[in-house]
Structure 1
Amino acid sequence: MSAAPASPETITADIWVDPRCPWAWITSRWMLEVEQVRPVETRFHIMSLSVLNEGREVPEKYRQGMIDGWANVRVCIAAQEQHGTEVLRPLYNAMGRLIHHEKAGLGHDMITAALKEAGLPVELVSAADDDSWDEKLRIQHHEGMDPVGSEVGTPVIHVPGPDGEPLAFFGPVLTPAPRGEAAGKLWDGVLAVASTDGFFELKRGRDRDPIFD
């Protein structure tokens, strides 16, 4: 009797997100779909659009978001430091749902609700106004962003490369998130282009707003 074929080895996809970015939220929902149809485990990390855009000229409509955006990522970093990296997934999921589906804003009420939903101490909300967390935030931000350069935003994904070195790329930016096998086929294509030596960019103009479903 021949041996059963070996199951594909599960790979870890590290994703860097800012909870307030709608495009990163949609991509993260896609990654959760990918986990259901491919041997992939998604591990969440935090980047910050406020860090990314420091010193840059940004449109007026985004400036308040740059200020308000520090709070939630500080709390994410504090939660990770005190309770382990694994808490980022449920905390990000809670924040993303509240921000993008419930339109709960970026303030302390949203953060407190997200901490409760993720089963974390609500006292962590105090980190929102504590800039002593910014150094650790910047370190995690740069771990994700530096390999892809400064001209991109979130999401950024790192996957193991064929030579043992991680493959890092921005995106994909999409809406709505593909479901089921459609999510898996997109993942296969993303890996194909990301693993092609010398491949840098594939892009077209957006013609729709984020769709949350």
Structure 2
Amino acid sequence: MTSTVPPPSDPSYDIEFFWDPICPFSWITSRWVATVAAQRDFQVDWRFISLRLINKDKDYAAEFPPGYDEGHTAGLRVLRVAAAIRDELGRDALGPFVAAFGHSYWDAPQGSVDAATLAKPDHLETVLETAGLPIRFADSLDDDAWDAQIDAEGELALGRTGRDVGTPLITFRPPDGLSFFGPVISRVPSDEEALELWDAVTTLAAFPGFAEMKRSMRERPQLNLLGGVSAAPVQEDWQGGHRRGHLVGDH
């Protein structure tokens, strides 16, 4: 029987990373965290937060741009697969899955894959093969019995940060360390830059009473699927977790 309760925090992990696979900023920040983890030898517990479930009471047609409902639903379907993997194989099996899925989607050429494709069984079977996992886990795409657990895990994260946030969310030194939204970054840093950013972020996170540093203007995520890296990236105003307009850019 599928549990509706997410697993408790495991203090043997250095951070918990709450991830939605459809969020480009989750992907970029996850690559930053993975880069630092490889250099600093710390452990990441990859956890779940579904944009579709935390927005389940919202009117997508009225409150989000076109395509967000489809995209968020696709992200939830992929998280069902991740939940099935974790339930059977344990938390450490998720790192390869997070990486394989992200590379299959965000590193694909622009226009080559969309939300409807990414949550199809054949796409997930390829991802699972790349991650060294059984392709039978793709059967969980349509298994909504996982949704209660995924929803509860997202609520766990939001209970730590407050609700006026997006993805990703990170908890330092779980379960009792501080939790924050972000950092939201638009490009994957180099190895050296990753360590510099990590040290800056963890310094802020350790400061008593620190809550927020924010701007809604962002570069368009510098990912192949979204057009690749640009010398003059488009600047967009993100409010409420989605774009409000394209303001400055190269096209």
> Do these two structures clear the TM 0.5 threshold for a shared fold by scoring above it?
yes
1:41-56 equivalence runs, <5 A: 41-56=43-58
In structure 2, the residue matched to 1:62 is 68
Compared CA separation, residues 190 and 129, structure 1 to 2 (3 A): same
Q: Which residue does 1:90 correspond to in 2?
A: 96
Q: What per-residue deviation string (whole Å, max 9, x for no partner) do you get for residues 9-33 of structure 1?
A: x971211111111111000111122
Residue pair 2:22, 2:72 contacting (<8 A) in 1 also: no
**CA apart distance, 1:39:** 4.6
Of the candidates 17, 20, 23, which is equivalent to residue 22 of structure 2? 20
Q: CA RMSD in A?
A: 2.0
> Partner of 1:100 in structure 2?
106
Question: 1:147–1:168: 8 Å Cα contact kept in structure 2?
Answer: yes
Per the alignment, in what secondary structure is the counterpart of residue 43 of structure 2? strand
Shift of 1:143: 2.5
After superposing the two structures, state which structure 1 stretch, 91-100 or 203-212, moved more.
203-212
Partner of 1:73: 79
Partner residue of 1:145?
Answer: 158
- Three-state SS of the structure 2 residue aligned to 1:157 is strand
Cα distance change on mapping 1:183 and 1:52 into 2, 3 Å: same
* Aligned-partner residue type, residue 127 of structure 1: S
Deviations 1:110-156 (A, max 9, x none): 21111111122211111111111112212222232320111111111
Compute the displacement of 1:41 (Å): 2.5
Between the aligned partners of 1:11 and 1:134, the Cα distance in structure 2 is: 24
Shift in Å at residue 200 of structure 1? Answer: 1.3
Gaps of 5+ in 1: 1-9
Which among 117, 130, 151 is matched to residue 117 of structure 1? 130
Q: Is the 8 A contact 2:16 2:171 kept in 1?
A: yes
Q: Answer yes or no: is 1:185 the counterpart of 2:185.
A: no
Kindly provide the CA deviation profile for residues 9-62 of structure 1, in whole angstroms up to 9, marking residues without a partner as x. x97121111111111100011112212443532221121111121112323331
1:90 is displaced (CA, Å) by 0.6
User: Is it true that 1:167 corresponds to 2:214 in the alignment?
Assistant: no
Indicate conservation of the 8 Å contact 2:49/2:153, yes or no.
Answer: yes
In the alignment, which residue of structure 1 is the partner of 2:217?
206
Dislocated runs of 4+, deviation >6 Å: none
- What is the TM-score with the length of structure 2 in the denominator? 0.74
Structure 2 unpaired stretches of 5+: 1-11, 224-228, 230-251
Counterpart CA distance in 1 for 2:36 and 2:190 is 8
Compared with structure 1, are the counterparts of its residues 176 and 66 closer, same or farther at alpha carbon in structure 2 (3 Å cutoff)?
closer
The whole-number CA distance in structure 1 between the counterparts of 2:74 and 2:34 is: 27
Q: Is the 8 A contact 1:16 1:45 kept in 2?
A: yes
Percent same amino acid at aligned positions?
A: 33
